[in-house]
Amino acid sequence: MVVLKSLHPPSEGVRLQQADTTAVLDGKRLGSGTLFVAEAHLSWFDGSGMGFCLEYPSISLHAISRDLSAFPEEHLYVMVTAELDDEAEAEQQDKASDDEESDSDSEDSGTITEIRFVPSDKAALEPMFSAMCDCQALHPDPDDADTDDDDYEGEEYDVEEAEQEQGRGQGDIPTFYTYEEGLSHLTSEGQATLDRLEGMLAQSVAQQYHMAGVRTDVPSVEFEDGMEVDSSTVTGQFDDADVDHW
């Protein structure tokens, strides 16, 4: 099934790279090379740049095998199944493997290919296994009817529901947002309110500012014209003011 092609090793999303790894395909040793566990594909290349590439959805299972009676070396076992609807590939495999193997009789799940990756460094088996698990999780079954985009919305409703349930005894406790999160939740009304409040805050600070000078309890807004006069007579009066505004 898997023919060695001249391919390029993956350039991005490489979770793990393991050199000095022999690949054994359905019992046939392909020599030593480098295994690439990348987020998009699983691939292996021998010394001459020839290799093969596997798609994660086609991998049924992978495992660390330390059972020396099954295979003389500890290795990473990978089982690849052809897809049911991939008839062309299945036919091709039947033709190719007819003389070689006796198990080419059509199974319900199509033809199975067993690949063993034998690293010279046996300690690498666990990281190789984990990297594959992580990448497999990135490729969930697209045919699975349960995976719905509605699930996201379901989560939000649940949160509100839970708040209401909790609200019986603790409804007064507000939900706190960080500044950015809060801003993104504002309606246009909310934004108007925020602007008004900020304006009021700004004014009250301005009042404090001018309180350092002559006028104390008179709002500065009413004396806009007078402000010009003030500035000419009290220039420098606020130099020591701590209020750092505008």
Is 231 a binding residue for other proteins by CB under 8 A? The answer is: no
Considering the rule CB under 8 A, would residue 209 count as an interface residue with other proteins?
no
- Which of 12, 176, 222, 232 contacts other proteins by CB under 8 A? 176
Residue 197 binds to other proteins (criterion: CB under 8 A): no
Smallest separation, CB 112 to other proteins (Å): 6
Question: Judged by CB under 8 A, does residue 108 bind other proteins?
Answer: yes
Cβ 100 to other proteins shortest distance, Å: 15
What span, in angstroms and rounded, lies between the C-alpha atoms of 93 and 82?
A: 9
Contact between 38 and 48 under an 8 Å Cβ cutoff? The reply is no
CA 130 to chain centre: 16
The burial of 104, by beta-carbon neighbours within 10 Å (0-12 exposed, 13-18 middle, 19 or more buried), is given as middle
CA distances to 48, 78, 130, 150, 234 from 74, in Å: 25, 13, 16, 44, 87
What is the DSSP code string of 87-153? HHHHHHHHHHHTTT-TT-SPPTT--EEEEEEEESSGGGHHHHHHHHHHHHHTS--TT-TT--THHHH
* Residue choice 61, 202, 214, 221 for contact with other proteins (CB under 8 A): 61
Taking CB under 8 A as the criterion, the residue among 91, 126, 160, 198 binding other proteins is 126
| Position 59 contacts other proteins (CB under 8 A) | yes
Number of residues forming the site for other proteins (CB under 8 A): 47
Among the listed ranges 2-10, 21-29, 47-55, 129-137, the one in contact with other proteins (CB under 8 A) is 129-137
The residue from 32, 65, 104, 207 that contacts other proteins (CB under 8 A) is 65
Please report whether residue 159 would count as binding other proteins according to CB under 8 A: yes
- Residue 41 CA to residue 55 CA, distance in Å, equals 5
Work out the angle at residue 90's Cα, subtended by the Cα atoms of residues 85 and 91, and round it to the nearest 5 degrees.
Answer: 120
Residues in the site for other proteins, rule: CB under 8 A? 57, 59-67, 69-71, 77, 81, 103, 107-109, 112, 126, 129, 132-133, 136-137, 140-141, 143-144, 146-147, 151-152, 154-155, 158-159, 162-163, 166, 170, 173, 175-177, 181
